[in-house]
């Protein structure tokens, strides 16, 4: 878990019979730059676990492709595409929602993923925690000082053991939700 800012950690809540993991991050970049990092393929590849194929428009079909063939492609749908504030899509059976709001000279990023299975909450929370940390590094034009797997191994126990955040339904040795070694730094500069 983050030692610098405990509010960076994911929180679990139940809503309408489903489970939601919610993260809030303050980013030292304007909303337009954060939006580019969330939507432009060269930046998405620096932090998101799959390449996203498909039109960036509400209602568009999406396809999620692993970068090294470690899993088969799967389908989704763009639910909301409202630059530079709201991005929401179906990612397989999960819903991912990103909201970006101005905050002084930076932005607040709200990320919510809706899941059906309570037992995978700690695993997924650690995975998204790592993704959002990688996003922050990409926005700063830096490479993370850790591999994604190393960072997942570091933050996952906090989600397993943090009873105020996550249930204790998964053993600490459970694997991450996706291959965390596939991230690559963004080739473009800001």
Is 173 part of any domain? no
Q: Would 141 be classed as within a structural domain? A: no
Is residue 81 one of the residues assigned to a domain? yes
What does the block give as tokens for 5? Answer: 């800012």
CA-based nearest residue to 87, from 25, 24, 37, 50: 37
Q: Are 118 and 169 in contact (CB under 8 A)?
A: yes
* Residue 80 pLDDT: 98
Which of 74, 81, 83 is CA-nearest to residue 56?
A: 81
Average pLDDT, the chain: 84
What domain range includes position 73? 6-118
* 85 contact partners, CB below 8 Å, separation of at least 6: 31, 35, 99, 100, 101
What is the arrangement of strands in the sheet containing 51-53, beginning at the earlier edge strand? 11-15, 18-27, 106-115, 94-103, 86-91, 74-82, 61-65, 51-53
Read off the pTM: 0.83
- 3-state SS assignment for residue 39: helix
Answer whether residue 169 is part of any domain. Answer: no
Q: Are strands 11-15 and 61-65 parallel, antiparallel or unpaired?
A: unpaired
- At residue 50's C-alpha, the angle toward residues 45 and 52, to 5°, is 85
- Please say if the pLDDT value at position 171 is more than 50: no
In a domain, 148, yes or no: no
Digit-coded pLDDT (tens) for 26-84: 999 999 999 999 999 999 999 999 999 999 999 999 999 998 888 999 999 999 999 99
In this structure, is residue 159 part of a structural domain?
Answer: no
Q: How many domains does the structure of the chain reveal?
A: 1
**CATH number of domain containing 92:** 3.30.530.20
* Any domain includes 60: yes
Residue 77 located in a structural domain: yes
């Amino acid at each position: 878990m983050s030692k610098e800012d405990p509010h960076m950690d994911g929180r679990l809540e139940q809503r309408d019979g489903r489970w939601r993991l919610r993260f809030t991050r303050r980013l030292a970049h304007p909303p337009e730059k954060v939006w580019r990092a969330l939507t432009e393929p060269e930046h998405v590849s620096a932090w998101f676990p799959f390449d996203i194929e498909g039109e960036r428009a509400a209602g568009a079909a999406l396809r999620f492709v692993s970068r090294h063939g470690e899993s088969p492609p799967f389908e989704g749908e763009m639910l909301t595409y409202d630059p530079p504030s709201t991005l929401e899509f179906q990612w397989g059976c999960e819903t991912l929602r990103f909201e970006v709001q101005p905050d002084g000279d930076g932005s607040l990023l709200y990320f919510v993923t809706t899941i059906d299975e309570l037992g995978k909450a700690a695993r997924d929370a650690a995975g998204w925690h790592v993704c959002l940390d990688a996003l922050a590094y990409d926005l700063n034009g830096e490479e993370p000082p850790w591999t994604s797997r190393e960072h997942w191994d570091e933050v996952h126990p906090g989600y397993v053991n943090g009873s105020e955040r996550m249930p204790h339904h998964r053993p600490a040795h459970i694997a991450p939700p996706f291959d965390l070694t596939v991230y690559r730094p963004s080739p473009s500069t800001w």
